[in-house]
Chains A and B, each alone.
Chain A
Amino acid sequence: MTEVRERIPVDEPGNRAPLMVLAWIWVLAPFGYGVYELVVKIPALFGS
């Protein structure tokens, strides 16, 4: 007979990896776009 152990999914840190990835992509993707748009302007500073 197999012992059934009660598990509470929300208390498992490992279960939150997808949430962690989604949350950071959610903010880093637009942030990366903003930084990219900025960085492309910088070479002109050294070209004059």
Chain B
Amino acid sequence: MAVGFLARSRIVAPAGWSRWLVPPAALSVHLAIGQAYSWSVFKPALEKSLGINGTLSAIPFELGIVMLGVSAALFGTRVERNGPRWAMFVATCCFSAGFLVSALGVVTRQYWLVILGYGVIGGIGLGIGYISPVSTLIKWFPDRPGMATGIAIMGFGGGALIASPWSAQMLNAFGVTAAAAGQGTTGIAKAFLIHGLVYAVFMSMGWLLVRVPAEGWKPAGWDPSTVASRALVTTANVSARNAIRTPQFWFLWVVLCLNVTAGIGILEKAAPIYQDFFTAAASKAALASAAAGFVAILSLANMAGRFVWSSTSDRIGRKNIYRCYLGFGALLYLAIVLTTNANKVVLLVCTLLIISFYGAGFATVPAYLRDLFGTFEVGAIHGRLLTAWSTAGVLGPLIVNAIADAQIRAGHTGPAKYILSFSVMIGLLVVGFVANELIRPVESKFHEPAALRQGAGLADRGRS
């Protein structure tokens, strides 16, 4: 395929192009790559058929999340320069190829190929795919950037919702069961192969449909000065290179990292938390079903929060909404610590809100970056910020599991197992709250020069 077809200049929207065609393009990518969070569906089958342990079978996912942050940081500037079609196309190729290489690895019993395929190649697809539509959506929806990025990033949460039952049903159809030890690898290989092909087709809607707005385009009736009048919102632009030299970037890095870690505090142990808090079920099976329902409703909250709270941030401002995620989140954790299993409704409401804030933290951060650093290289800056996610994604579960294991060894049972880890989460959220309070408008010395800014802005609009 000619490079020209993927070039930014080839996807400048003609007059009359509806901006509401851009969210489905973004969702085509995010709903696909969100599959990453359903990797656990494959774990038991891989362990039984290849004879590996749980630690090994988790490596492709863990490496994928690390590669997500690394590749988003490394390729962010190139994504910004080459445009969303190029980025979505590359993400499609990498993500699909990851599955195909994994299929080869399984069928030949070379597990390192699964790690290379899903973890490294697929992980690069995750990173490039995750940031691919962000700056384009912000430019199409300058009046509602939180809502626009909320839709796309909600898709990432929805990806696992789709893939989890779909993959499980497919494995089942191919006769792959978690129970049968030493079974063949053909079924898993077929499932990986079909995943790769189906995702390639599904994601293609993204790079075929995505368009960037023409130079000087703005939504009908929208006045840019109304946005710039808000505190923290700048009309200047900061390059990605300069952004990482500002304290604002690192304060936001801390905010995202700690908000993610606090969410993992519940997500990582959702089912056992429920089972330890409410042991008085009619039977073990009923308790397990209820715990599965708890996990399901948390997933819905995670997804809905991305859209609802991120859209709300367009009205009340980004700093205020993060005050809510972090400050109110800490109070919710405190409520759980104080009430423990006294009231199921309190636990449900608190955990649902905490997880909705967790998801919303991801969805709102691109708009926060736009407010602070302008639209010039917001995608590249977002890519660098996602290293906070990778860090939290690895450290968060380690901390949570280490504390929980220590509490079990200390003889704690029931809700007492989690009191210390929830208290740690309160502390982390308070630190995040302080970091958010320290965020001020970026100093003008970091702004692109005025003449260059004007040119860059024009060029930016031209290419965007």
Residues of A within 8 Å of B161, CB to CB, are 31, 34-35, 37-38
Query: Which of A11, A31, A48 contacts B14 (CB under 8 A)?
Result: A11
Q: How many residues of A contact B (CB 8 A)?
A: 28
Residues of B within 8 Å of A43, CB to CB, are 293
- List B349-407 residues whose CB lies under 8 Å from chain A: none
- List A1-48 residues whose CB lies under 8 Å from chain B: 8, 10-13, 16, 19-20, 23-24, 26-27, 30-31, 33-35, 37-39, 41-48
Q: Is the CB of A34 within 8 A of B165?
A: yes
Nearest neighbor of A31 in chain B, beta-carbon distance: B158
Given contacts A20-B21, A27-B27, A34-B161, contact A48 B278 (CB under 8 A): yes
- Give min CB distance, B256 to chain A, whole Å: 25
Asked whether B25 is an interface residue with its Cβ less than 8 Å from the other chain, the reply is: yes
Query: Which of B16, B31, B158, B282 contacts A11 (CB under 8 A)?
Result: B16
Residues of A within 8 Å of B228, CB to CB, are none
- Give min CB distance, B275 to chain A, whole Å: 10
Asked whether B292 is an interface residue with its Cβ less than 8 Å from the other chain, the reply is: yes
Can you name 25 A-B residue pairings with CB atoms under 8 Å? A11-B15, A11-B16, A13-B16, A13-B18, A16-B17, A23-B209, A26-B205, A27-B24, A27-B205, A30-B162, A31-B161, A33-B165, A33-B166, A34-B162, A35-B300, A37-B164, A37-B165, A38-B300, A43-B293, A44-B289, A44-B290, A44-B293, A46-B290, A47-B290, A48-B281
- List B188-223 residues whose CB lies under 8 Å from chain A: 202, 205, 209
Q: Is the CB of B18 within 8 A of A26?
A: no
- Give min CB distance, B139 to chain A, whole Å: 19
Given contacts A13-B18, A16-B18, A34-B161, contact A27 B28 (CB under 8 A): yes
Give the CA-CA distance A44 to B291 in the complex, in Å: 8
Asked whether B20 is an interface residue with its Cβ less than 8 Å from the other chain, the reply is: yes
Give the CA-CA distance A33 to B158 in the complex, in Å: 10
- List B89-118 residues whose CB lies under 8 Å from chain A: none
Q: Residues on B close to A: CB < 8 A?
A: 14-18, 20-21, 24-25, 27-28, 31, 155, 158, 161-166, 202, 205, 209, 278, 281-282, 286-287, 289-290, 292-297, 299-300
Nearest neighbor of B15 in chain A, beta-carbon distance: A11
Nearest neighbor of A37 in chain B, beta-carbon distance: B165
- Give min CB distance, A23 to chain B, whole Å: 4
Query: Which of A8, A13, A45 contacts B297 (CB under 8 A)?
Result: A45
Residues of A within 8 Å of B282, CB to CB, are 48
Give the CA-CA distance A14 to B403 in the complex, in Å: 58
Query: Which of A16, A34, A37 contacts B21 (CB under 8 A)?
Result: A16
Residues of A within 8 Å of B14, CB to CB, are 8, 10-11
Q: Is the CB of A12 within 8 A of B16?
A: yes
Nearest neighbor of B278 in chain A, beta-carbon distance: A48
Residues of B within 8 Å of A34, CB to CB, are 158, 161-166
Residues of A within 8 Å of B17, CB to CB, are 13, 16
